[in-house]
Amino acid sequence: MLYVIGLGLSDETDITVKGLEAVKKSERVYLEAYTSILTVGKEKLEDYYGKEVIVADREMVESESDAILANADQVDVSFLVVGDPYGATTHTDLVIRARELGIDVQVIHNASIMNAVGACGLQLYNFGQTISIVFFTDTWRPDSFYDRIKENADLGLHTLCLLDIKVKEQSIENMARGRKIYEPPRYMTVNQAVEQLLEIEDNRDSGVCTKDHLAIGCARIGTATQQIVAGTLQELLDVDFGGPLHSLVLIGKRMHEMEAIFIRDYAVNKESFDAVVKEKYQ
């Protein structure tokens, strides 16, 4: 059996009882380590699970999946995913490959940012399409996700923005020269995401992500140090959200009165929050 197990959002204790039982009986245990991170390292997981944990980077999961799936039709293998197993398309691909090899698969779910974002006070059924914001470079400044934000905005729906992380990435030069030298990990902050959105808005000029648009910055949701701050995009530029992981929610025009009341407690400035809500959201 291949077990694909969600670890939740915080630390080694967030695994479900069902997931922990599967890990303990597995011959090999892999930890997917590039689409998200926990607040603890693999050593903590090993101590808690009583099993050796093999860190699986992007190259292993996408190019060497045969090693992960080897003899999984005869022994139990666990593949651990931060959040929920189906939070990233890579994990769907691994399940498809396992099925093609005749390997039984059991998915054990857990909390992910996709549902835990409800902690910010917005109702989950009022969210539209989720988008990802990647780091700009000097030569690549992608903005296709702006169209999805606009589609959500046109329907009055909220948009969850997942922010880029770079783990075990190579520079273009090292990649071209075939050198296995990796850049330090980078995690996009709410502030960087807002800066990029405002730049795109300047170019697109569609009124979707203006400086006075209300949004919510979320950091380390599901952990003991989670931080939630609401305000205009301009206000969020100056907020220190601390360490990773961050996400950003753009508030849609259909924000319910109860949502506004809940969110107000997180506002950078309650008076300005009230003024924007009155002007743009009622």
Specify the DSSP class assigned to residue 267. B
By residue count, the chain amounts to 282
Q: How far apart are CA 32 and CA 270, in angstroms?
A: 41
243 annotated as a binding-site residue: no
| Helix and strand element counts for the chain (H, E) | 12, 12
Contact 128, 159 (CB under 8 A): yes
113 annotated as a binding-site residue: yes
112 annotated as a binding-site residue: yes
Q: What order do you get walking across the sheet with 2-6 strand by strand?
A: 54-56, 28-32, 77-81, 2-6, 105-108
Cis amide leading into 122 (omega within 30) = no
Cβ count within 10 A of residue 144: 7
Q: How far apart are CA 228 and CA 230, in angstroms?
A: 7
DSSP assignment of 194-257 equals HHHHHHHHHHH-SSSS-TT-EEEEEESTTSTT-EEEEEEHHHHTT----SSPEEEEEPPTT--H
87 annotated as a binding-site residue: yes
214 annotated as a binding-site residue: no
Residues annotated in the binding site for S-adenosyl-L-methionine, as ranges?
9, 84, 87, 112-113, 163, 246
Residues annotated in the binding site, as ranges?
9, 84, 87, 112-113, 163, 246
